[in-house]
Structure 1
């Protein structure tokens, strides 16, 4: 009976990851609608200039993120030698995601004429509140798990600070980018409205996805490690806590990979051959 309960618990803990992937698939429909609206409209001269500058801005910061990731790999090799081989992929991913977040949070305001009276969109018009609150919960969960493992002596000071600082910084940058996107006034010209909406929508989803990945992956590793360590204990009765922790770790890791796949699709705003938002 204990094994049956463990299997049921394992499957139940995986359900949130499935729901998260489904919600991001629905976000892809929002992306398709916003991108299709851009393709149907002919931007003004200011709108075309905005598209070009925004695309160049994003490429610049993503390349900087790649450079930071490569520099981090070199630094880890110098500091840790052969032991750093397991850190290459996480460090590179951290640099790339940092580039995505910094690109969105530093995006310059478009220079087109603003609508009078000033109008601003609601956050719900740009990104699902379920995705935003899930990202926030994941960041909090990653911080709590890191603090718990750190206090239990399972993490060194350097690893502990990193495990806490990365999700917190990602969450704060994501919140700032979404606030900037929501607070920016709408353009006056009707042809620029779909372009503006698409830019805001891409920003909101990119930062939400990046913050989710930077929370889910550390959370998954910490839960999985904790579950394996607890599973080595000898107990009098069947212990479900290690099973729950291992299942939660797998769920978080799989969810992080799934969100990362969606994030890659949002980095390039439109399909190949689209007239707008190219690059």
Structure 2
């Protein structure tokens, strides 16, 4: 009976990760609609220049993030030698996702004329509120899991700072980018409205996905660590270790899934393929 309960509990804890993956799969439909709307209109010259400028900005900052990640890998090799081999992928991933977040949080403001009086879109026009609040909940859960383990001495200071600071900073950058996308006034020219909506949609999904991944992966690792810790399990059947292990697997699987969807959003908004190659 205990094993049956453990299996059912394991499956139940995996459900949130499955639902999150499905929500991001559905978000792909929003991307298709936004991209299709841009293709159906001919933007103004300033709208075309905005698309080109935004695409170049995103590529440059993401490349900077990649270079920072590579520098972090080299630094870990210098400091830790062979022991750094397990840090290469996390450090490089941190650099890449930091580049995504910085690119969206620092996007240049479009130079087209705006509506008078200024009109602004709703958040629901850009991204599902469920995805945004899931990002916030995952970051909060990561903080709630990290702090007790750090205080109890289960985590070293270096690991504790990394597991705490990276998701929180990512969340702050994501909120800045979301706020900028929400407060920017709509363009005055109707032909630029689909372009503007697509840019906001891309930004909202990119930063939400990046912050979610940076919180889910360390959260899953810490939950797995706590679940398989022999000192944390009692004799006989114990529900808590099973729940921790299941939660860890669910968080890691969801993090990988969201990262996969994030890759599909990296392609910039296009009105004409030639517009971004000139």
* Structure 1 residue runs of 4 or more that deviate by more than 4 Å after TM superposition: 270-279
TM-score (norm 1): 0.96
1: CA distance, partners of 2:208 / 2:45: 30
Shift of 1:116: 1.7
**1:239 paired residue number:** 238
1:125-152 alpha-carbon deviations (Å, 9 max, x no partner): 1010000000000001111111121112
Task: Note the 1:107-256 alignment, pairs <5 A.
Answer: 107-230=107-230, 235-256=234-255
State the match for 2:39 in structure 1.
Answer: 39
CA distance in structure 2 between the partners assigned to 1:115 and 1:195 by the alignment: 15
Q: Which residue of 2 aligns with 1:267?
A: 266
Distance 2:50 2:269 in 1: 16
Unaligned 5+ segments in structure 1 are none
Instruction: Give the length in aligned residue pairs.
Output: 278
Instruction: Tell me the TM-score normalized by structure 2.
Output: 0.96
> Over residues 109-138 of structure 1, what are the superposed CA-to-partner deviations in whole Å (9 max), with x where a residue is unaligned?
000011122100011110100000000000
Give the superposed CA RMSD. Answer: 1.7
Q: 1:36 to 1:3 in 2, by over 3 A?
A: same
Local SS of the residue matching 2:263: helix
What is the distance in 2 between the residues matched to 1:197 and 1:191? 11
Q: Cα offset for 1:237?
A: 3.9
Partner residue in 2 for 1:66:
66
How has the CA–CA distance of structure 1 residues 166 and 234 changed in structure 2, closer, same or farther, with 3 Å as cutoff?
closer
- For residues 217-245 of structure 1, give each alpha carbon's deviation from its aligned partner in whole angstroms, at most 9, with x where no partner exists: 00000000000004x55634411100000
2:216 and 2:252 in contact (8 A); partners too? yes
User: Structure 2 vs 1, CA of residues 277 and 217 (structure 1 numbering), >3 Å: closer, same or farther?
Assistant: farther
Map Cα deviations across residues 179-215 of structure 1 (whole Å, 9 max, x no partner). 0000000000011000000000000000000000000
Unpaired runs of at least 5, structure 2? none
